Structure 1
Amino acid sequence: MRYISTRGQAPALGFEDVLLTGLASDGGLYVPESLPHFSLEEIRSWRGLSYAELAFNVMYPFVEEAISEADFRQMLEETYGVFAHKAVAPLVQLDTNEWVMELFRGPTLAFKDFALQLLGRLLDYVLEKRKQHVVIMGATSGDTGSAAIEGCRRCEHVDIFILHPYQRVSEVQRRQMTTVPGDNIHNIAVKGNFDDCQRMVKESFGDQSFLGGKTQLAAVNSINWARIMAQIVYYFQASLSLGGPDRSMAFSVPTGNFGDIFAGYLAKKMGLPISQLVIATNKNDILHRFMSGNKYEQHQLEHTLSPSMDIMVSSNFERLLFDLHGRDGAAVKELLESASKGPVSIADYRWKNARKLFDSEAVDDKGTCDTIREVFEANEYLLDPHTAIGVRAARNCRRDASVPMITLGTAHPAKFPDAVAESGVSVKPELPVHMADLFDREERYTVLDNNLSEVQGFMAKHWKNA
């Protein structure tokens, strides 16, 4: 399988190179040249498989040129064997045909573990084969950083630098990143917002001269294709658990960077019957404004109770735009260049085509708190603020009550105790046993100004072989 850029100018690459490259040389994102497609009969035959076995069936077509079957199976068993629930992604019922899929049973209590526990193992495998060293540079609005550090901290061929917005992630999220020991782990708190951190990452991938030609950058953000690939699996898992593929499913996805919901879009294209995908956002609602009114326009970023979605530049949205424009890279490049200068729209028929599958909703902090409280009072089930936004959007946008509606539960509520307290719920969410001493662990991080050259200078000085 070959991978091509959404902007049409970068060379097509194989899986190993895409894994290590992250952003394409023309500034675009890599996507498969073509997708595998599974028949209903084939999907039906996967009922009863373990999560790791299902993951192998869904993902192996993307990696088969680079990894043997036996090695990939072992990698998946190790990846999902560390999750704290045998089902890996269990479903919890809230109401008739309404479900939450718990994607926070991994080591860092967030859905990012599904991809980043695997990504660390993929990197080690490929880098060992190539006898190569890389520097991972990533930006996080909260959960990606800790999942990336946990997934990659044992990698022998990696130094990892994670940028997070200073004082704009929850204390649990910060401590999950900054308390992990290791000479190859570097946490940088940038005096800015997530979009500032993400911009630094993109600019650094575009010009890596600050590393002196001694190594290269690798990506852990969802611009890395491997992240998207791993997230496709749990859509198949949810469907098969609730009668699929013989009935269609609807999903509500709390999303800021569009990666998680784009994985659902790909699952549909690969043959899984999905009738609706709901984009659930907070006040930073650029995706909702586009999907509801065909207007893509950046506003001022706002700090909310759901910080992992405090994002205004949704990188993975470019991957959907590429498909909506008939995979015309030049058109995508022109559109995004215009979007950096002001509001843009796409051709009406392209937008209406997207609306056949996608709906959207923006939920403010009050609506988030109301939903946490309402669900707890009805079910004694505690939602984190991001999942609460997903549930609220699911209920407001649902097209057909006979179709199971599954909200992706993206994080454990213990990561956001302030939001839970603000909702009026009297129960304080407790950290799981393996993380009970989190607040006693020593933190290590460096606060830097919102300045690219300062961040790059720090990285150039501190990676292992500098």
Structure 2
Amino acid sequence: MEISYQSTRGGEAGVTASQAILKGLAADGGLFMPSFIPKLDKSMKEFSLMTYQETAYEVMKLFLTDYTEAELKSCIAKAYDSKFDTEEIAPLSKANGAYYLELYHGSTIAFKDMALSILPHLMTTSAKKNKVNNKIVILAATSGDTGKAAMAGFADVEGTEIIVFYPKDGVSPVQELQMVTQKGDNTHVAAIHGNFDDAQTGVKKIFGDKAFAELLEEKGYQLSSANSINIGRLVPQIVYYVYAYAKLLSSEEIKDGEEINVTVPTGNFGNILAAYFAKLMGTPIKNLICASNENKVLFDFFQTGTYDRNRDFILTTSPSMDILISSNLERLIYLSTGCDGSANADLMNSLGENGNYSVNGEMKEKMNGFIGGFASEAENKAVIKKLFEDTGYLIDTHTGVASAVYNKYKEETKDDTKTIIASTASPYKFSRSVLEAMEGNQETEDEFQIIDHLSNVSGVLVPQAVEEIRTAVVRHTTVCDADQMKEAVLNFLD
């Protein structure tokens, strides 16, 4: 059945999947949502016999209905290939009673690879389908992982330019090195003075500037997004939750139909929203445990029904979650209004003008199944250390937040439902913080001495993606203020 897409703010409807992927953001500032959430048309038993690539096709075909079978299978084959260092693409590791879904085996060692490996192929296919002659300019804000994964995906892809903005002091040294050494004649990076929310707000303002869009059009460019606001980022993420459930079934860890919980370290809300879509499609998921770090705006929202970004922004050792405006939450809010674009727009306007909004009891009821939790810096460090000492399993600081939140949830509720924890990055992406969790503060300033020390202590090999940046040349040096982002875009394109 054909699915169309409409804006969460009511201003645009009847858009095809390929058009929604090309546009990235709706003209009214809303996010594209499918006209309905399709049901899986294969049983979990059938999925349990499938490869990751086969699962991806069966899930994504339900949302991307204007792509032909050949087009979609070609995109999937190009995305999920030898750039992943494990055949399963997203393997499960059992440690201390939970199942860690390892989403970091792609070329940039973070979960963003799962969607950003396929987005360039979906987008270039969309451009051909829609007879687009302009060069597509991918504009992204990153809290560390999206930027590198997007640049790696789009590097030297014909007909595209990619521009990434990141907070100068808000990413890990490895994340920054990965971005500033990125090759590709069409890749551009700028550090901004400010935090991730400043970068994200700046990008959204550029998307909403009609005069700027017309100026770019005159120059032969059109904007699109690689952030998780793009539906082409969200749909591929649904796949690994369906795949993970099927793998638990095939390994006889669960019975067919048995419900599981899913715990996700959450910043921009896209990853956990994908798990929710998997649940709505028929994957037997009971609770979605939304794990926050000390920037616990989502925890407070699920506790109180009020979303309030008017608070101090805290820099933590899980920087990809240092976010106070969780863009993808808008899609959940839209669903909770009964897909009322006008009601949702009012709430988003309140967020923009006052920094907060509140949902009513009926809307809150529709979000039943989401459980908020948060972990302090001390709790995060403690769980990384204890998990490694008890089991030999090494996790990064974002997975640490999820693990700590899950442990607290289990202790408080006595819920023994089998649980998947989304492991969103390699420990080597945040090596200093991981090593300090295990051994205390490190004297050396050299990031690669830290990396080698961590490898010696843990016995876990340093990934190729980290080895590659040891001697890589810094190619990107632009730094600007948040109010200079538009000028930076023009400078890059000129």
> Per the shorter chain, which TM-score range?
over 0.9
Deviations 1:223-256 (A, max 9, x none): 0001110000111111111126421111000010
> Between Structure 1 and Structure 2, how many residues are aligned?
459
Say if 1:187 and 1:444, in contact at 8 Å, map to a contact too.
no
Please, which moves more after superposition, 236-245 or 443-452?
443-452
CA contact (8 A) 2:109 2:465 kept: no
Q: How many Å separate the matches in 1 of 2:257 and 2:365?
A: 27
Shift of 1:109: 0.3
1:394 to 399, 406, 415: 406
The CA deviation string for residues 289-324 of structure 1, in whole angstroms up to 9 with x for no partner, is 000222211112111000000100000000000011
**Corresponding residue for residue 33 of structure 1:** 35
- Counterpart selection for 1:18 from 20, 39, 44: 20
Structure 1 residues 165, 208: CA separation in 2 closer, same or farther (over 3 Å shift)? farther
Q: 1:31 & 1:44 partners in 2: Cα distance?
A: 29
What is the distance in 1 between the residues matched to 2:433 and 2:378?
10
Superposition RMSD in Å: 1.7
Contact 1:176 1:438 in 2 (8 A): yes
Aligned residue in 2 for 1:445:
476
Q: Which amino acid aligns with 2:49?
A: G
Larger deviation, residues 119-128 vs 258-267: 119-128
Counterpart-to-counterpart distance in 1, 2:149 and 2:22: 18
Alignment of 1:204-283 (within 5 A): 204-210=206-212, 211-213=215-217, 214-243=220-249, 245-283=256-294
Counterpart CA distance in 1 for 2:23 and 2:356 is: 30
- Secondary structure at 1:162's aligned position in 2? strand
Query: Any idea what SS the aligned residue of 1:352 has?
Result: helix
Alignment partners' CA distance in 2, 1:140 and 1:113: 13
1:181 aligns with: 183
- How far is the alpha carbon of 1:396 from its aligned partner? 1.5
Deviation of the 1:75 alpha carbon: 1.9
Task: Pick closer, same or farther for the CA change 1:112–1:342 going to 2, 3 Å.
Answer: closer
Report the CA distance shift for 1:9/1:50 in structure 2 as closer, same or farther (over 3 A): same
Aligned 1:55-454 pairs, distance under 5 A: 55-65=56-66, 67-81=67-81, 82-96=83-97, 98-129=98-129, 130=131, 131-210=133-212, 211-213=215-217, 214-243=220-249, 245-298=256-309, 299-340=311-352, 341-354=354-367, 356-398=368-410, 399=413, 401-425=415-439, 428-429=454-455, 431-452=462-483, 454=484
Distance in 2, Cα, partners of 1:363 & 1:434: 29
Give the C-alpha shift of residue 154 in structure 1. Answer: 2.9
How far 1:400 sits from its partner (Å)? 6.0
Aligned-partner Cα distance in 1 for 2:14–2:170: 38
Q: Is the 8 A contact 2:263 2:289 kept in 1?
A: yes
Secondary structure of the residue aligned to 1:344 is strand
Inter-partner Cα distance in structure 1 for 2:303 and 2:239: 28
1:9 alignment counterpart: 11
Work out whether residues 253 and 260 of structure 1, in 8 Å CA contact, stay in contact via their aligned partners in 2.
Answer: yes
Contact 1:189–1:445 (Cα < 8 Å) also in 2: no
1:128 Cα deviation after fit? 4.1
SS in 2 for 1:20: helix
Q: Matched residues in 2 for 1:419 and 1:152: separation?
A: 30
Which stretch shifts more, 149-158 or 205-214? 205-214
TM-score normalised over the length of structure 2: 0.89
Q: Secondary structure at the match of 1:159?
A: strand
The gaps in structure 2 that reach 5 residues or longer are 250-254, 441-452, 456-460
Equivalent position amino acid for 2:74 in 1? Q
Q: Which range moved further: 431-440 or 172-181?
A: 431-440
TM-superposed deviation, 1:349:
3.1
> Structure 1 212/239 Cα, relative in aligned 2: closer, same or farther at 3 Å?
closer
The 3 A distance-change label for structure 1 pair 245 and 150 is farther
Is the alpha carbon distance of 1:343 and 1:231 closer, same or farther for their aligned partners in structure 2, counting shifts above 3 Å? same
* Distance across 1 between alignment mates of 2:169 and 2:101: 30
* Cα distance in 2 for residues equivalent to 1:403 and 1:434: 35
1-side partners of 2:181 and 2:479: how far apart?
Answer: 18
Distance 1:11 1:434, change over 3 A: closer
Q: Residue 446 of structure 2 corresponds to which residue in structure 1?
A: none
- Aligned partner of 1:319: which letter? R
| Aligned counterparts of 1:343 and 1:212: Cα–Cα separation in 2 | 33
Alpha-carbon distance in 1 for matches of 2:375, 2:188: 34
Query: CA, structure 1 residues 425+89, in 2 after alignment: closer, same or farther (shift >3 Å)?
Result: farther
Unpaired runs of at least 5, structure 1: none
Give me the whole-angstrom Cα distance separating, in 2, the residues matched to 1:245 and 1:176: 42
Deviation (angstroms), 1:208? 4.8
**Structure 1 residue 439: deviation in Å?**
2.2
- What's the CA shift for 1:53? 0.3
Deviation at 1:215, TM superposition (A): 1.4
Identify if the C-alpha distance between structure 1 residues 401 and 93 changes in structure 2 by more than 3 Å, giving closer, same or farther: farther
2-structure distance, mates of 1:112, 1:393 = 22
Q: CA deviation at 1:425?
A: 4.1
